[in-house]
Amino acid sequence: MCGRFENKRINKDVIDLFIQSKIIIEIDSSIDQVGREDIRPTQKILSIIRKENNYILTKVNWGIKFSKDSPLIFNSRIETIKEKKFWNNLFDRNRCIVPMTGFYEWKVQGTSKIKYRVYLPDQDIFFVPALYESDKGNNICASLITTVPNKFISQIHHRMPVIFDFQQAVKFMTDDVQNNLQNCQPYDNKKGMTIEIAD
């Protein structure tokens, strides 16, 4: 699961990753309006989408709501994407990536919940793959893709976001469905993660 996250790196850092890889990216002028810390579902988040072979850095709504009475879906299980035709089709045609510097999980301990911040010690920025859909107002809405936890996250929660480095994220945007489904795995235990109690 991913219920809150942060992106403390400025937009320029994300853009520089594309420039260094000689990938052209368009910049939406509204991206400065997104949050940076303790970002929550329903808020505007920074995302990279791909349309007609063009990469676009833009803001999207965190959470997909298919109808007035349907629940807000801010996380999508990779298992459901594999099993359900609707989600598999959405995964095929509407993929995006969300830059992060960390995310938060809560561990239930007795009658209380302890908030933990999770980040990668060797990467300032990482990317979480997501699905997106446009609502009736043509607002782009996204749902982060989650999987089973690795050994680090399993200590505090039963789900975790899929995590890619930059090269993996770019490949996700262009690769075929089967490869992408296979690559949406728990983060490699050998690479390590840092988990600390959050303020």
What domains are defined for the chain? 4-101+125-146+161-189 (3.90.1680.10)
Q: Which class for 186: exposed (0-12), middle (13-18), buried (19 or more C-beta within 10 A)?
A: buried
Strands 140-147, 75-77: pairing kind: parallel
Q: Do 158 and 149 meet the contact criterion of CB atoms below 8 Å apart?
A: yes
pLDDT tens readout for residues 4-31: 999 988 788 999 999 999 999 999 887 8
Q: 45-76, pLDDT tens digit by residue?
A: 999 999 888 999 999 999 999 888 889 999 99
Q: What are the E-state strand segments in the chain?
A: 4-6, 25-27, 44-51, 54-62, 75-77, 95-100, 102-109, 112-119, 126-134, 140-147, 160-161, 194-197
Write the pLDDT tens digit of every residue in 106-138.
998 888 999 999 999 999 999 999 999 988 888
